[in-house]
Amino acid sequence: MCGIAGIHAYLGPAAPVDRAELARMNDRMAARGPDGSGLWLSDDGRVGFAHRRLAIIDLSDAGAQPMHSACGRHTITFNGEIYNYRELRAELQAKGHSFRSGSDTEVMLQLYAEYGADMVGRLRGMFAFGLWDAAKRVLLLARDPLGIKPLYWADDGWTMRFASQAKALLAGGKLECQPDPAGIVGFHLFGSVPEPFTVWRGIQALPAGTTLIVDPSGPGAPRRYYDVATALGDRASKSVGAAAEPSRQLAEAVRDSVRHHLVADVPVAVFLSAGLDSGALLGTMAGLGARDVTAVTLGFGEFKGLPNDEVPLAAEMAERYGARHVVRTIDRTEFEHDLQAIFDAMDLPTIDGINTWFVAKAAREAGIKVALSGLGADECFGGYPSFADLPRSVHWIRPFSWFPGLGVLARHALSTDITKGLGLHPKMAGILEYGGSWAGAYMLRRSVYMPWELDELLEPTALREGLRRLAPLSGIARALQAGRTLGAFDKVATLETTLYMRNQLLRDADWAGMAHGVEIRVPYVDPFFLASLPPGDVLARLDAKQAVAEVPVPPLPAAIRSRPKTGFATPVGRWLSDAAGASAGHGVDFSAASRTWALRVWQHGWAAPAPG
């Protein structure tokens, strides 16, 4: 896991790459790669790559980057890990390729030489990279299928710039940082910024599962090579066979994914809560023969002795599977001390991720560089209430769409004052207008605020422009564009995976983990794993979450399996609201005032005034 950056002056009149700019971009990502730093400029000065290294595979200098092929034609700067690199290396050796290192990075160089840009479809792992082909004068940018690793880019019509962090692009000093209303509106709607938008007009996120080629005429359009809806549709079309046992198929898929995610030349730990997902990872690691595993659990002094204290049950699981258990207790004082650093590390604004900051901090203090996380299990095993709520909403509300204008009329009739007076959530005003479509029902379920509630939060002109460019309902619907024939379970899984997980959970795991130089691996977020699971309708009947608890030997303890799902509870929302001088509201971690204050701090630094 690392930080990458690059500059390509592709148009003739463009100024050559400024080495100082590239160095500033790289320096901004120092926390991502404490084990090494590298800069490379092409002989003609038209291409420059930078790299910050967190050494996980091949710890020697032979794994340093930017890395060049033996012939000198190809150069790569790569962030991530390729878990099947040994299999790919053997395949390439059989084709006559030779290797100078034991790194997965060199495998990628050789794989590109063999297959070109199509090599991305053969990679099992998390990745974002820039690869320069000197013979073709082509720059290839790529991002992993599910969006675990970020990649941001900016093009001014002369020069292309890319980096692992949007803030690193700004640190170079050559880009304007005008706000983008679409990204800001997206943040207020969803609590995170939907890709490909950022909060700056000139900076885009390369969408997950896409490649982008920059030739001498400039960047083309991103080309999608992986789509979640298509992949789940392909899975659903495959017969599992009459003799197949879904629970056994699921167990084999979990073991296979964990086995691949243990590939490393350093110890691999696990973030352990009191939930099924991380407990199953720990138990599976033990079953695969992993020894001396460290399990890191976050605790809060305010929760000690209460039902939402995760430490006692996590300790029971750690003892059950022979793990060294590290418990890190966080209090308000430490939170307030770290808050400025949290906002600085937060690459794009988000209403989540602070818990990941602290568990990664605890991991770093314990000498850990790599840890597995249970992130993604709810999306593929149906662990969210949305798996029941969305199909129910679409089924019952869709008939009302036969009456044009009824939903809008009902929304205007149910003003905020009326819904409050009736004890209803403000979103209830939009149930007839939105609840009958998959996109609308998902927006009602996952949005922090609905569009009509933003009038009091954002300036009218910016709000109109932001909503027009963001087109939130269309953006949600696009996730299902290739999945019209999917069943209800797979439709919800597609939406949760491509939207909430990708834009919030995975992005938060990246910035919060890498701020401490900790690589967070997510075995449940793997296209090879998803493809090997039973179809969605089978998972729905199986009660997959309970089936996962049976994967370890022995299975997870009864106290864990019978514990109601509560999510990861923290007092952080109250602490942040107090820091902003406002009380929490609207049923989320942030009130409108505290979220607006947090956005100001994130944009302008700690001197931003609190609301009020």
Cα–Cα distance measured from residue 335 to residue 331, given in angstroms and rounded to the nearest whole number: 6
Q: Does 352 lie in the same domain as 448?
A: no
Question: What's the rounded Cα separation, in Å, for the pair 271 and 462?
Answer: 40
**Same-domain pairing of 22 and 84:** yes
**Per-residue confidence (pLDDT) for residue 237, from 0 to 100:** 87
pLDDT value for 608: 44
Q: Is the peptide bond before 523 cis (omega within 30 degrees of 0)?
A: no
pLDDT-derived band at 483 (thresholds 50, 70, 90) equals confident
Average of per-residue pLDDT across 34-57: 96
Kindly state whether residue 232 falls inside one of the protein's structural domains. Answer: no
Q: What is residue 581's predicted lDDT score, i.e. its pLDDT?
A: 59
How would residue 596 be classed by pLDDT, with cut points 50, 70 and 90?
A: low
Whether residue 234 is contained in a domain is answered as no
d(CA 255, CA 262): 11
3-state secondary structure 428-479: HHHHHHHCCCHHHHHHHHHCCCCHHHHHHCCCHHHHHHHHHHHCHHHHHHHC
**Quick one: pLDDT at residue 589?**
43
Arithmetic mean of pLDDT, 553-565: 86
Strand extents, DSSP E, 282-437: 294-300, 324-330, 370-372
**In the prediction, which pLDDT does 119 show?**
97
Q: What is the mean pLDDT of residues 391-405?
A: 88
Within 13 Å, how many C-alpha atoms sit on residue 233's CB side?
13
Model confidence at 348: pLDDT above 90:
yes
**367 φ/ψ sector (left φ>0, alpha ψ -120 to 50, else beta):** left
Do 350 and 413 reside in the same domain of the chain?
Answer: no
Is position 238 within any domain? Answer: no
The pLDDT value given to residue 559: 87
pLDDT digits (tens, 9 = 90+) for 285-296: 999 999 999 999
What is the C-alpha separation between 576 and 584, in angstroms, rounded? 9
Give me the pLDDT at residue 567, please: 57
**What is the rounded CA–CA span in Å between residue 80 and residue 514?**
11
Whether residue 12 is contained in a domain is answered as yes
Q: Which residue has the higher pLDDT, 135 or 563?
A: 135
Reported as half-sphere exposure (CB side, CA atoms, 13 A), residue 326 has a value of 21
Strand partners, 439: none
The predicted structure's pLDDT at residue 588 = 39
On the question of pLDDT at 538 being above 90, the answer is yes
Same domain? For 425 and 525 the reply is no
**511 plus 481 within the same structural domain:** no
**One domain for residues 269 and 317:** yes
Question: Taking Cα atoms as reference points, which of 173, 186, 176, 111 lies closest to residue 142?
Answer: 111
Residue at 379: amino acid letter: E
Task: Determine which helix (DSSP H) or strand (DSSP E) holds 53, and give its type and residue range.
Answer: strand 47-53
- The mean pLDDT value for 232-260 works out to 85
219: nearest Cα among 157, 170, 175, 165: 157
In single-letter form, the type of residue at position 274 comes to A
Q: Is residue 315 part of a domain?
A: yes
Query: What's the pLDDT at 569?
Result: 63
Please provide the distance, in angstroms rounded to a whole number, between the alpha carbons at the two ends of the chain. 42
For residue 606, the model assigns a pLDDT of 46
pLDDT at 197: 97
Question: What is the mean pLDDT of the segment spanning 536-561?
Answer: 92
Whether residue 82 contacts residue 138, with contact meaning beta carbons closer than 8 Å, is answered with no
pLDDT at 16 over 70: yes
Residue 474 pLDDT grade (very low, low, confident, very high; cuts 50, 70, 90): very high
Number of domains in the chain: 4
Confidence of residue 580 (pLDDT cuts 50, 70, 90): low
The span from the CA of 142 to the CA of 208, in Å, is: 8
Instruction: Say if CB 38 and CB 66 are below 8 A apart.
Output: yes
Q: Taking residues 346-353, report their average pLDDT.
A: 91
pLDDT tens digits, 88-105: 999 999 999 999 999 999
- Counting residues of the chain whose pLDDT is more than 90, the rounded percentage is 76
- pLDDT band at residue 203 under the 50/70/90 scheme: very high
The per-residue pLDDT for 431 is 85
Chain-wide mean pLDDT for the chain? 90
Decide if 240 is inside a domain: no
Out of 457, 492, 527, a domain closes at 492
200 pLDDT exceeds 80? yes
| Region of poorest pLDDT, from 207-221, 463-477, 593-607 | 593-607
On whether both 69 and 137 belong to a single domain, the answer is: yes
Cα–Cα distance measured from residue 142 to residue 126, given in angstroms and rounded to the nearest whole number: 11
129 and 82 within one domain: yes
The region of weakest confidence among 266-275, 478-487, 511-520 is: 478-487
Mean pLDDT value of segment 48-75: 95
**446 vs 303, residue with greater confidence:** 446
Q: What is the pLDDT of residue 612?
A: 39
Is the predicted pLDDT of residue 583 greater than 60, yes or no?
no
Quick one: pLDDT at residue 136?
96
Q: Are residues 259 and 352 in the same domain?
A: yes
pLDDT of residue 610: 44
Whether the per-residue pLDDT at 518 is higher than 80: the answer is yes
Helix (H, G, I), strand (E, B) or coil at 237: helix
Q: What amino acid occupies position 252?
A: E
Within-domain flag for 149: yes
**Percent of the chain beyond pLDDT 70?**
90
SS (H, E, C) 238-306: CCCCCCCCHHHHHHHHHHHHHHHHCCCCCCEEEECCCCHHHHHHHHHHHHCCCCCCEEEEEEEHHHCCC
> Based on the domain organization, do 325 and 370 belong to the same domain?
yes
CATH label of the domain that carries residue 558 = 3.40.50.620
Residue at a domain's end among 433, 461, 492: 492
| pLDDT for the residue 574 | 74
The position carrying tokens 């995760």 is 310
Whether residue 235 is contained in a domain is answered as no
Q: Which residues contact 540 (CB under 8 A, 6 or more apart)?
A: 382, 387, 489
Neighbours of 320 (CB within 10 A): 18
- Distance, in Å, from the CA atom of 455 to the CA atom of 268, rounded to the nearest integer, reads 47
Distances, alpha carbon 366 to alpha carbons 46, 58, 196, 253, in Å? 43, 22, 36, 30
What is the average pLDDT across 434-439?
Answer: 93
* Strands 138-143 vs 210-215: parallel, antiparallel or unpaired: antiparallel
Domain that holds residue 600: 571-612
Q: How many CB atoms lie within 10 A of CB 72?
A: 9
**Residue 317 has what pLDDT?**
96
For the cut 90, the answer to whether the pLDDT of residue 65 exceeds it is: yes
Question: How far is 143 from 209, CA to CA, in rounded Å?
Answer: 6
Helix (H) or strand (E) holding 548, with range, is helix 544-549
- Answer yes or no: is pLDDT of 591 > 60: no
CA distance 99 to 284: 33
Same domain, 542 and 443: no
The residue among 492, 519, 547 that closes a domain is 492
**Residue 131 pLDDT > 50, yes or no?**
yes
Residues 292-306: what's their mean pLDDT?
89
CA 406 remoteness from chain centre: 38
The whole-angstrom separation of Cα 445 and Cα 449 is 10
Are 428 and 463 contained in the same domain?
A: yes
CB atoms within 10 A of CB 403: 10
